[in-house]
Each structure stands twice: as C-alpha cells, then as structure tokens.
Chain A
Amino acid sequence: MVYPFFAALTLLTGIAYAVGQRRAVSVADGRLADLHSLPIYHALFTAIGVFVPMLAIFVIGTPLVSWMAHSAALAQFDPSVQADPLRSGVILRDVASISRGQFAGNASPELAQAAKDYAATLATGGWAVFLLAIAAGVAALAASFGVIKVPFRARKHVERFALIVLGACAVVAILTTVGIVFSVAFETYRFFFDPSLSGKPTIGSFLFGLEWNPQAAMRADQGTISTAYGFVPLLVGSLLITFIAICVAGPLGLFSAIYLAEYATPRVRSIAKPILEILAGIPTVVLGFFAALTVAPLIRGLGEAYGLNVASESALAAGLVMGMMIIPFISSLSDDVINAVPQSMRDGSYALGATKSETIRQVLLPAALPGIVSAFMLAISRAIGETMIVVMAAGLAANLTLNPLDAVTTITVQIKTILVGDQEFDSAKTLAAFALGFVLFFVTLMLNYIALRIVRKYREQYD
C-alpha cells in the first residue's frame, strides 16, 4: 500500500494545486488585483490542505494496522505465549515469513491460521487507510472550493504553515542533539555509578589515572593483567598530536591565507584557493593511509639516519598529516576574515606611508585576530575529534609521553578500539567508550564555545 499511497498523495496534491489556482482566478472574475492573496497562495493553501491530512492518516494509520495484524495473529495462541515477548516475537517472525511465502518447513495449523488472519487484517487495514486518506484528500479539496473567496487570506495561512515546518525542522535538529548528549551522559553515568558493573573506576581514577588498559584478563591462566581506566595518557596523546598538527597547520594556513588575501593577483587566487580547498575534500581515511604508509616510514627512515629511535607508528607522523588536513580550515577561514577587514583600514595605513607588510602586521592581523583565533579553535576541535588518521598512524599503545617520535594513542582511537567487534553492552570496558566520548564531547564543546564567543566579539568590532 506504500507505493500506491504516495502516488495518490502526489497526484491529489498536484490536482489540489491546480484546482486552487483555477478557483482563485475564477472567483476573482477577471479582477486579479482584488484578490487578497495571489492565486499561487490559494494554490499552495489548497495543496497543503490536501497533503497534510492525507499524510497524517497514513503516518498514524499504518503502524496501527500493523499492530492490529500482530494481535490478530497472536490471538490464535494462548495468553501465556502472548505474554512472553521472546516466544511471541518468534511467532510473529514466522507469521511474517509465511505471508511472504518464504517459510521453510511445515507450519502448524495454528501458525497457518495466524498467518491467514495476519494477512487478512493487514490487507483490510491497508485498504482502509488508503481509502480513508483519499477520502480525506478529496474532502479537503471540496472544502477548499467554499473557502477560496476574494478576501480570503490564503497568504497568511501559507506563511503560518511555512513557519510551522521551519520550526519543526529546528526542533528536530535540537532534539537530536539533546538526545545524543543525554544518551552519552546516561551511559557515562552507568559507567561510573552502576552497582552491577564490575571493574569500573571511580571518577577520580578515570580523570587522573596515568594508566590505560581496558583489556581485563579473560581467563585465570592469562596471569595478572590488571584493568586500568586512567584517562590521562589518552588526553596527553590527543593533545600532543593536536599540538603537532597546529604547529604544522598554523603557520602554513595563516601565511597562505595572508598571501591569498593580500598578495595574490585575482588570477592566482582563483586557481590557488580551490586547490587549497580540495585538500579539505580529501577523505580522512585516505590521509590516514598516506600517514601510515608514506609519512611514517619516511620519518622513521629520517630518524634512523640521524640516529634517533623512531617508532613505526609515531605521534609525529599522525600530527603532520593531521596538520595537512586542517590547513584548509585555517587558511580558508583566515582568508575570509582578512578579506572582511574594511578596505578603509588598508587605505588609512597606506596613506600614512606604511608598506604592505607593515599594514598586514600592524593593522590587518590585529583587526582580524579574533576571527583568526576562532579559525584556530575550530581547527583544533576538528583535530581532537579526528579518528581515521590517528587510528592508522598513531598506534594503540597508551604511552604517557611527550616524545613525538613515540607511538601514542588518542581518545578517539580508544573509543574505536573498544567498540569495534562483538561487544557486550554491559561491561565496564564498553561503557568506558561512552565516558571517553563524553569527555571528548565536553572538550570540543568548550573549544567551539570559546570560538563562537570570539567570533561574536569580532562582529561588533567595526560598528
């Protein structure tokens, strides 16, 4: 019933649009200027009037029918079966596959009867919903004939509908965010406070512990592998790699932004800027294997040439490539804010006999500084949340070190490691991922908040 319904919905809405327009033109009787609203608003009003009730009937009716079909099928069995969600679930799956003709083996008479009832209810209910929706649509269309008059304020109703749709979209986006935050927060709470969970750390030992080893001993003969959920090595790893990335991307991004904004001719700019932005379009997984297969061996080789001991997965390799990843963020945003500094500032400085570089250093950069800082903040929060590059290039060993030539691990890598593969959702190990995610979320939230505050301050600058 789904495809015919949507075909009917489209058709009736289209008809309603055309009818609404014709009707408005005909009630105006040649004097279109007398209409309160343009004919197109009457058309939209009629189309909305048909579309909304039809969709509402379908959205409410369809699950209702399927629920009724389920009860009809289960009615064949005794109440003890119906009360057991596991057994009734098995029966419903069988019933569904029989009605699709995919059931392998012999169905018991009870099951066959259930399948028959199920299919019958589904068919009847489906038709009922379908016909009801069409009836509602046609009724709305008929009603619109009486409603459309010369003074009818169709435009106001259409505007209100637009407001409701836009508001609903905003609400969905906000509720999604809130939902994610609460679900992560709830699992984090369980990780720390659920009494049924064994081996969980305290908040103190999580936040300040210096050792990370979520892999508990599975069997007694594995010896004494102690579980530890110390968060510090991961944070240090994340910050170390982010620091290296910013050291790479900060100067490169900022200086290329200055070049593009102030020195490049329009021709060079029109070529160079898209190329820089292509860098932002490279998937991080590609950058990740570039880091692991090209940059890391290169650094290792170079390090050996200088007699340094470099791990084959190093923070430096991951940081360098991550720096490349965030160059476009910094260069593009900084370029925009430097361009946004009014031309009158440049004129004022040049007119006082300042050279180009003096103007840039002493007028443009200070004026654009808040915007540049927020570009850096956004780049940092991108870098902290980045996963693919560090998964491939930084390693898994939770070493607490500041040496960029060592392997380190990051918050994101550990979340990925914990959750990849078959997991029981009640173990402390799995829930640790939520705690890590929550902390990561908190850190990036803070950075974004600071960036937004700075941007807001920047907006007031020239007014």
Chain B
Amino acid sequence: METLKVDMTAAKRLEAERIAPVTSAGLPAKVVARDVNVYYGEKHALKSVNVDIPDRGVTAFIGPSGCGKSTFLRCINRMNDTISICRVTGKITIDNQDIYDPSLDVVQLRARVGMVFQKPNPFPKSIFDNVAYGPRIHGLAKSRTDLEEIVTASLEKAGLWNEVKDRLNDSGTGLSGGQQQRLCIARAIAVNPDVILMDEPCSALDPIATAKVETLIDELRGNYCIIIVTHSMQQAARVSQRTAFFHLGTLVEEGPTEKIFSAPSDPRTQDYITGRTG
C-alpha cells in the first residue's frame, strides 16, 4: 500500500509535469528547450541547450559577444527562419507545443511571442498605425473603437501614452530613441503575446531612456514571460529574476539572478561576472 502510494504520487507528478512542466525553481515553465543546436552553415553556433523558462517574470541571457544568447532568443520566435543558412535541431516548446512542428503556423507563433530589437525600429508610419499594425494583420479589432482601445491600452502599458496622446498621427520615427523603443514594446504588447523577447533593448539608448525602459520591463513582468538578452550585467541584476549565462555556444548555468551573481556554481560564470573574461 505504502509503495503504491509513493508510485501514485510519482505518476501524478509526472503527469502534472507533462501537462505543465515545472522549472527548477518550482515555477510553472512556459518555454522549454531540449537539446537545441543551431548551425549557421558549417558553424555550430549553439550547442545542446536545455533550459526551462518560467511563465511569469524576467529571464536574462548574459554572456560575452558571440556566445549564442541572441541566436537562442531568435529560435524562440523562429526569427532564424529568415536566415537561409541557419539550421535548428532539438525541441523548443511553448505551453507544451512544439514550435518547430511543421504543422505549426509561424505567423501564429509570432503573434504569441513578441519581440523587441536592439535598435528601435518603428515603421515609418504614424504612432497610431505602428501600434495598430499587429492588431490589424491579426484581425484583433472588430471596429475602429476596438482598435483605438487596443492602441490606447498598449501605449498606456508601455508608459508612453501621456507623452504621445496628443500626437498619435505624428510619425513614429520622429520620437526620441527611448520613446521609439517604448513604442516598439507597445507595438509588441498590442497583439497580446504571452512571451516577449528583448534583444539588448537598451543598448542604443541613453541612461535616462534605459532607466525608463527598465522600469517598464519591471512593470510588465507580472503579466508576461519576458526574456531579455543583455550585455550589461548590472541591467541583468536590476531587471531579471532568473539569469542564464552563455559561453561559446553553450548554456553554462541558469538559476535565480541573486544566486548567479553571488554564488555561481561554474568557474566560467564566476570569471565572467567578476570581469575576468568577456
């Protein structure tokens, strides 16, 4: 009886994990990568990456240039598909759904996984049209009023509403760098994604704009699974709850941010955060 009970719990746990994987920290996992390899032509850019990324909160990818962190990030919304020589093996699931399944529509994947780029890239359209772009192509708004509500809500969430509410018809490219980046975040939020990928979102911004974007990321972490690639370890420490360290195409270690920065278990991580490598 006793053994059976134990077995039952184990089975239940396995069953539960199959439905909702759990990260090492015990949080429900959103994005799960198993044995992910990426090749650019002959170059083996990413080697056997395994990671569970929790459903809510900010996960930071850190590591020296060329370590594969951006490559891995771009695997999660399959942006690497646009590079013809790029080949991805292994398995990445979001909510247990294999995103490299041939039957999966990449358009729908990208609607669920938003992305913010290194350099702000607003379209040369009005601020309104920039934010309305995603809802329009996915048919999220039934009417003009709906659309206006989505745009307003997205701009408010991105902390940009008060700055632009009187000039929604001005060009998005006319905003300052920091405003442009927050506009890009609003544009990503507007399609109501679960996951937001950020590829060094502050590297083209001045310190004040960076602070604003970081505050925004912190505000958003309750509602989204945010993955941020950053060069700045201070930024990773400020905004993230979990941190993953990449080195030469491998994921060296992943864990709570405080632990990675105070007591890393791998000497390579230790060397990087103390500034001896990278």
Question: A residues engaging B (CB < 8 A)?
Answer: 265, 342, 344-355, 358, 362-363, 366-367, 461-462
Contact = CB atoms under 8 A, between A and B. Distances in A.
B147 interface: no
A358 B121 contact: no
B110 A352 contact: yes
11 contacts: A344-B119, A345-B123, A345-B124, A348-B122, A349-B133, A352-B133, A353-B109, A358-B137, A366-B125, A461-B173, A462-B124
Interface stretch (B46-54, B183-191, B269-277): B183-191
A358 to B, nearest CB: 5
Contact of B191 (A346, A353, A362): A353
Interface string B118-132: 010111110000000
A348 B116 CA distance: 8
Given A345-B124, A362-B133, 7 more contacts: A344-B117, A345-B123, A351-B77, A352-B188, A353-B134, A355-B137, A366-B124
Contacts of B108: 353
Given A352-B134, A352-B191, A347 B110 contact: no
B79 A353 contact: no
A348 B82 contact: no
Interface of B: 77, 79, 82, 84, 107-111, 114-115, 117, 119, 121-125, 133-134, 137-138, 173, 184, 187-188, 191
Contacts of A352: 110-111, 114, 133-134, 137, 187-188, 191
A350 B123 contact: no
A51 B109 CA distance: 72
A350 B184 contact: no
Given A347-B117, A352-B188, A353-B137, A367 B110 contact: no
A345 B121 contact: yes
Given A363-B123, A366-B124, A351 B115 contact: yes
Contacts of B77: 351
Contacts of B184: 348
Contacts of A345: 121, 123-124
Contacts of B119: 344
A347 B121 contact: yes
Given A345-B123, A362-B133, A367-B124, A353 B117 contact: no
A351 B173 CA distance: 18
B45 to A, nearest CB: 18
Question: Which 9 residue pairs across A and B have the least CB separation, nearest first?
Answer: A344-B121, A351-B115, A353-B111, A353-B110, A352-B134, A348-B121, A353-B107, A367-B124, A354-B137
B124 A461 contact: yes
Which of A342, A350, A351 counts the most B-chain CB atoms under 10 A from its CB?
Answer: A351
Nearest to B121: A344
Which of A265, A354, A358, A367 counts the most B-chain CB atoms under 10 A from its CB?
Answer: A354
A375 to B, nearest CB: 18
Contacts of B121: 342, 344-345, 347-348
Nearest to B118: A344
Nearest to B112: A353
A349 to B, nearest CB: 7
A354 B107 contact: yes
A363 B136 CA distance: 13
Contacts of B117: 344, 347-348, 351
Contacts of A367: 123-124
B133 A350 contact: no
Contacts of B138: 353
A363 B125 CA distance: 9
Nearest to A342: B121
A351 B114 contact: yes
A347 B79 contact: yes
